[in-house]
């Protein structure tokens, strides 16, 4: 019988459900520490599967595949937010240490459960979600409070990068949008007057140790993260403390092991609203790979291997620039080009990360660049200069 409490040491296999870029960077961090990695993904070729020691191509609910994974790995985590809870439960019942566990992952998979949870959590942290109303049946539409307009209708499940969302100004538009989404369960959220957006990144070990990274300030374009800058230029120290304390309270409250990201809105009024949680390392935390003592992926390895957590200290100001597939095209997808990496790398403080995806597509996340600087302004200027080299509007 394997030791279910002690550390899982380098040389062992760690498992990851999902083979995307988050799985790939997890794999790289684990391998750097001497672990072997087993990736399970339904696709035939995946960014993580192509570099892992073991790649199982199977559906997340394939019980033979999960058994094979359990036989190899003492611990498993997920990089794919919509992994079926059953897969995590099956692995746990096969004796695998699953971090984070399925109840935590499920919470983030359903916006209705997530908003409800965030609303309860407000009593402890004074940070709650934007006002919202659940729409599950026809009759709910007319009951939607008038003060939620203009609002954003969001599908309860499977939304990411702004997908499954529609801004609605009236009951008529709400009805049309809900029909458009196929009348699936949704939340209608009041559209808030945002000043800026930030995210907190916290990590909890199996022993209840909790550490937090500096909060990042995020700019989205077309619903997709564009840049993350740390330290957050617009955030006041008191706001940062409130956000970090709230995220630390949250990770303990749900008994979560691993890396957790919490997105917040800072409103023009100065109030703070909790938007959503991501039960895994997050795009807005990629800055940690070059700017901090321990990256978010190293922390995920440490947490799931029941090792002490690493130092989250930031060593240099940073601005992360996301690289989308758009860069590989001249306007439309029929005119291909190769981005000017030589020009990017002429900036010695620009750290390039590409995910090894087989084909670029408009809007697809292909990589990111962490632009460092001795001072925050320098990091931001570096980021703007690198963006300009690539033809991205800074």
Q: What span, in angstroms and rounded, lies between the C-alpha atoms of 244 and 27?
A: 27
Annotate each residue in 291-330 with x if it binds ligand ADP (CB under 6 A) or - if it does not, as one string: ----------------------------------------
| Stretch binding ligand ADP (CB under 6 A), from 14-22, 92-100, 160-168, 299-307 | 160-168
Q: What span, in angstroms and rounded, lies between the C-alpha atoms of 283 and 52?
A: 21
Please give the C-alpha separations between residue 184 and each of 152, 157, 174, 277, in angstroms, as whole numbers. Answer: 15, 9, 13, 21
DSSP string, 168-203: ESSHHHHHHHHHHTTS--EEEEEPP-EEEEEEEEEE
One residue of 54, 157, 183, 220 binding ligand ADP per CB under 6 A: 220
User: Which residues ranging from 172 to 201 are in contact with ligand ADP (CB under 6 A)?
Assistant: 189, 191-192, 194, 197
| Stretch binding ligand ADP (CB under 6 A), from 36-44, 159-167, 179-187, 299-307 | 159-167
Tell me: does residue 159 bind ligand ADP (CB under 6 A).
yes
Nearer to ligand ADP by Cβ, of 246 and 372: the residue is 246
* Minimum distance from residue 155 beta carbon to ligand ADP (Å): 10
What is the number of the residue whose Cβ is closest to ligand ADP? 192
Please give the C-alpha separations between residue 324 and each of 264, 339, 359, 390, in angstroms, as whole numbers. Answer: 23, 11, 11, 11
Could you tell me if 317 and 58 are in contact, meaning their C-beta atoms sit under 8 angstroms apart? no
Q: What span, in angstroms and rounded, lies between the C-alpha atoms of 131 and 274?
A: 11
> Site for ligand ADP (CB under 6 A): how many residues?
16
One residue of 136, 195, 263, 378 binding ligand ADP per CB under 6 A: 263
Nearer to ligand ADP by Cβ, of 155 and 294: the residue is 155
User: Which residues ranging from 137 to 156 are in contact with ligand ADP (CB under 6 A)?
Assistant: 152
Tell me: does residue 223 bind ligand ADP (CB under 6 A).
yes
Residues contacting residue 222 through CB under 8 Å, at least 6 positions apart: 162, 363
Question: What pairing do the DSSP bridges indicate for beta strands 365-372 and 350-354?
Answer: antiparallel
Tell me: does residue 130 bind ligand ADP (CB under 6 A).
yes
Which of helix, strand or coil describes residue 69?
Answer: helix
**Which residues bind to ligand ADP, rule: CB under 6 A?**
130, 152, 159-162, 189, 191-192, 194, 197, 220, 223, 263, 275-276
């Amino acid at each position: 019988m394997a030791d279910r409490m002690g550390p899982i040491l380098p040389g062992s296999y760690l498992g990851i459900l999902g083979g995307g870029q988050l799985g790939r960077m997890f794999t790289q961090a684990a391998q750097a520490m001497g672990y072997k990695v087993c990736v399970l993904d339904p696709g035939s070729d995946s960014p993580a599967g192509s570099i892992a020691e073991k790649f199982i191509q199977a559906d997340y609910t394939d019980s033979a595949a999960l058994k094979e994974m359990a036989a190899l790995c003492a611990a498993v985590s997920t990089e794919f937010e919509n992994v079926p809870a059953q897969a995590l439960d099956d692995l746990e019942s096969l004796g695998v240490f699953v971090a984070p566990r399925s109840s935590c992952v499920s919470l983030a998979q359903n916006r209705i459960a997530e908003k409800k949870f965030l609303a309860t959590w407000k009593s402890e942290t004074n940070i709650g979600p934007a006002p919202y109303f659940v729409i599950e049946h026809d009759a709910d539409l007319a009951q939607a409070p008038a003060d939620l307009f203009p609002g954003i209708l969001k599908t309860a499940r499977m939304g990411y990068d702004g997908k499954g969302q529609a801004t609605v100004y009236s009951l008529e538009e709400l009805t049309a949008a809900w029909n458009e989404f196929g009348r699936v369960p949704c939340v209608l959220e009041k559209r808030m007057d945002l000043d800026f957006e930030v995210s907190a990144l916290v990590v909890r070990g199996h022993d209840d140790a909790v550490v937090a990274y500096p909060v990042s300030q995020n700019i989205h374009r077309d619903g997709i993260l564009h840049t993350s800058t740390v330290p957050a230029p617009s955030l006041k120290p008191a706001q940062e403390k409130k956000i970090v304390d709230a995220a630390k309270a949250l990770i303990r409250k749900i008994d979560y092991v691993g890396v957790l990201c919490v997105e917040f809105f800072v409103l023009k009024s100065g109030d703070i609203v909790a938007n959503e949680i991501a039960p895994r390392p997050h795009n807005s935390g990629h800055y940690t790979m070059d700017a901090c003592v321990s990256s978010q992926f190293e922390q995920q390895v440490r947490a799931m291997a029941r090792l002490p957590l690493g130092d989250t200290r930031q060593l240099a100001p940073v601005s992360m620039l996301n690289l989308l597939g758009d860069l590989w095209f001249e306007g439309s997808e029929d005119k291909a080009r190769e981005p000017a990496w030589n020009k990017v790398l002429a900036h010695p403080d620009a750290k390039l990360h590409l995910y090894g995806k087989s084909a670029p597509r408009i809007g697809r996340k292909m990589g990111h660049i962490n632009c460092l600087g001795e001072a925050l302004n320098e990091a931001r200027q570096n980021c703007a200069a690198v963006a300009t080299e690539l033809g991205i509007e800074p």
